[in-house]
């Protein structure tokens, strides 16, 4: 059986890719995609820990499902915002969305 640490390393790698995407990309859509990657890395962790440590209770799976739901909601709101901004400003570059600055 594949040991737990492999899964954890996969999750850490996935998380780092997501984090890099969030920090390095300027496109707001790409940033959102990075966030999704980070969330799914967490999901891998959750499911892996559940399977190896407490397979008798269902909490790990339930948590993962809740994270899916939250991520879906977040994406829905985030994309809607981005589309709205794009319509008004004709850009999705995060640095240019600076209406709150003086």
Partner 1 sequence: MATETIIWLIPLPPLLAFFLIVLFTNRSKWLSHTVAIGAALLSWLGSMIVFFRALAVEHFGEHIFASSIPWLATGETQFRIGVQIDPLSAATLFFVAWTVLMIFLYSVGYHNFGQPKGDHDRPGLQPHGATVSDAHGHTHTVPSIEPMYSRFFAFIGLFAFGMYTLVVSDNLLTLFVGWEIMGLCSYLLIGFWYAKPTARAAMIKAFITTRVGDMFMLLGLAYLYSQTGTLNYREIFYNQEVLNHLAETPSVIVGLSTAGLIGILLFFGTIGKSAQWPLHVWLPDAMEGPTPVSAMIHAATMVSAGVYFAIRIFPLVSAGSEHGMTSVMSVMAFIGAFTALFAATIALAQNDIKRVLAYSTISQLGYMIAALGIGAYVAAAFHLITHAFFKALLFLGSGSVIHGMEHGVLHTGSHIDPQDMFNMGGLRKKMPVTFWTFLIGGFALSGFPLVTAGFWSKDEILADAWGHGHFLVFATLALAALLTAFYTMRQITLTFFGEPRTEAAHHAQETPWTMTLPLAILAVFSVAAGWVGVPEHFPGLGGLLPNWFHGFVGGTLLEHPEAVAFNAVPLLTSLVVALGGLYLGWLVYRGTTAGAQDPIQKAVPGLHRVLKNKYYFDELYDRIFVQPAYWLAESFTSAWMDRGVIDGFLHWVAMVSGIIGNALRNYIDKPVINGIIGDGTANVVRKFGFTLRGIQTGRIQQYMIGALVTLIFFSALFYYLIFIP
For partner 1, the binding residues (CB under 8 A) are 19, 22-24, 26, 31, 94-95, 98, 100-101
Q: Would you say 34 or 60 has its CB closer to partner 1?
A: 34
Q: Would you say 47 or 78 has its CB closer to partner 1?
A: 78
CA separation, residue 23 to residues 41, 56, 61, 71 (Å): 17, 39, 29, 19
End-to-end CA distance of the chain: 58
Minimum gap (Å) between residue 86 Cβ and partner 1? 16
Q: Would you say 59 or 93 has its CB closer to partner 1?
A: 93
| Burial (0-12, 13-18, 19+ Cβ within 10 Å), 34 | buried
Minimum gap (Å) between residue 23 Cβ and partner 1? 5
């Amino acid at each position: 059986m594949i040991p737990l640490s492999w899964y954890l390393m996969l999750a850490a790698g996935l998380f780092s890719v997501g984090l890099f995407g969030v920090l390095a990309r300027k496109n707001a859509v790409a940033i959102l995609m990075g966030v999704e990657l980070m969330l799914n890395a967490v999901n891998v962790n959750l499911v892996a820990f559940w399977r190896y440590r407490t397979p008798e209770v269902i909490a790990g799976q339930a948590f993962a499902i809740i994270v899916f739901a939250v991520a879906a909601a977040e994406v829905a709101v985030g994309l809607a915002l981005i589309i709205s901004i794009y319509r008004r400003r004709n850009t999705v570059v995060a640095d240019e969305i600076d209406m709150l600055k003086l």
